[in-house]
């Protein structure tokens, strides 16, 4: 079966599962709401970063993005639905690519829209404190935020294919991005610049002085995502389903 009909079938699955709609809505709403709240915060701190403050809703937004990726992939393992999918599309690599594309496209669209709305909402609250942001920095922040959320959704989808469980994926990834990354950050110094969440979020900062820059940081996150997706593809090829 050609790729386009496979992608259309996978997109149909995504848009007909209410839990996935809920996860995408949560990505959009959380990113905007938390950024808007941050927009009325104290701006007197000498380390205040207006771009990151305006896009700080990415922290809860990424949890929703991870949930979306994990739920989209784990739905195939409920009731052995994946057997039906692979019976219709025997070429597992093609099916997996279509599934990942069906995850990436809506995640990117919602991530970009949410980031733009978050930036506008937060800037309204920050007022003069955000006036120094250049157009290029704001574009970088919005595009980078959308790409980062998409990568985290794909990371979760790949890990779910490896573990064959959305619950296991969420149990690993959510504590990691909320707790473990920060604990390691206090102990490991510059090594944390290469963790998937820390590296990818550099693009959201106006200024940065770590080991990676905005786009190299996203590249690091992309490598982590590629590793998870590659491991998921390996598991899918070797599994008897």
Confidence label for 41 from pLDDT (cuts 50, 70 and 90): low
Collapsed DSSP state (helix, strand, coil) of residue 27? helix
The predicted pLDDT at position 39 comes to 63
Q: How many residues does the chain have?
A: 241
Nearest Cα neighbor of 57 from 141, 175, 172, 176 is 141
Q: For 184-235, what is each residue's pLDDT tens digit? A: 765 655 677 888 998 999 999 988 877 888 999 999 999 999 999 999 999 9
Residue 239 has pLDDT above 70, yes or no: yes
pTM across the whole model = 0.92
Q: For 123-136, what is each residue's pLDDT tens digit? A: 887 777 777 788 99
Confidence label for 236 from pLDDT (cuts 50, 70 and 90): very high
Burial 94-122 (b: 16+ CB within 10 A, else e): ebbbbbbebbbebbbebbbbbbbbbbbbb
Residues 6+ apart with CB under 8 A from 52: 201, 204, 205, 206
d(CA 175, CA 181): 9
Q: For 137-190, what is each residue's pLDDT tens digit? A: 999 999 999 999 999 999 999 999 999 999 999 999 999 888 877 777 656 556
Residue 120 has pLDDT above 60, yes or no: yes
Residue 109 has pLDDT above 70, yes or no: yes
The predicted pLDDT at position 33 comes to 86
d(CA 134, CA 51): 10
Residue 45 has pLDDT above 70, yes or no: no
The predicted pLDDT at position 42 comes to 56
Token digits of residue 230: 């590659």
How remote is the C-alpha of 233 from its chain's centroid?
19
């Amino acid at each position: 079966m050609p790729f386009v009909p496979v992608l259309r079938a996978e997109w149909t699955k995504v848009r007909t599962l209410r839990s996935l709609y809920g996860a995408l809505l949560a990505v959009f709403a959380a990113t905007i709401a938390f950024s808007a709240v941050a927009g009325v915060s104290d701006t007197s701190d000498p380390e205040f970063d207006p771009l990151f403050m305006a896009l700080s809703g990415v922290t809860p937004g990424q949890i929703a993005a991870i949930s979306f990726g994990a739920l989209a992939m784990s739905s195939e393992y409920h009731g052995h639905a994946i057997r039906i999918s692979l019976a219709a599309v025997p070429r597992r690599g093609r099916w997996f690519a279509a599934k990942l594309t069906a995850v990436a496209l809506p995640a990117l669209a919602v991530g970009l829209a949410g980031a733009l709305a978050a930036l506008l909402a937060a800037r309204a609250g920050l007022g003069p404190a955000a006036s120094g942001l250049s157009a290029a920095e704001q574009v970088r922040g919005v595009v980078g935020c959308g790409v980062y959320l998409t990568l985290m959704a794909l990371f979760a989808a790949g890990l779910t294919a490896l573990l064959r469980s959305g619950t296991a994926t969420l149990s690993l990834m959510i504590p990691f991005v909320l707790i473990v990354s920060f604990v390691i950050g206090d102990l490991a110094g510059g090594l944390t610049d290469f963790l998937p969440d820390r590296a990818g979020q550099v693009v959201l900062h106006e200024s940065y002085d770590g080991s990676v820059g905005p786009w190299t940081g996203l590249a690091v996150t992309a490598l982590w995502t590629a590793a998870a997706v590659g491991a998921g593809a390996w598991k899918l090829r070797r599994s008897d389903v």
